Amino acid sequence: MIPKIKRIRLKGKALSKLCEEVYNRDNGLCVYCSHYVEPGVKPHHEPLKSQGGQDRLEDMAMLCNDCHSLRHNSVKGIVIGQKVRSYLSAKYDRQE
Domain layout of the chain by residue ranges: 12-92
Using alpha carbons, select from 26, 2, 52, 51 the residue that is nearest to residue 42.
Answer: 26
Cis (ω within 30 of 0) for the bond into 47? yes
Would you tell me how many other CB atoms lie within 10 Å of the CB of residue 19?
19
**CA separation (Å) from 46 to 1, 17, 23?**
28, 18, 15
User: Given pLDDT bands bounded at 50, 70 and 90, which one contains residue 10?
Assistant: confident
Per-residue pLDDT of 48-59, as tens digits, reads 888 888 999 999
pTM, 2 dp: 0.86
Mean pLDDT of 73-90: 95
Contact predicate 26/62, CB 8 Å: yes
What is the rounded (10 degree) CA torsion for 8, 30, 72, 70?
180
CATH number of 12-92: 3.40.1800
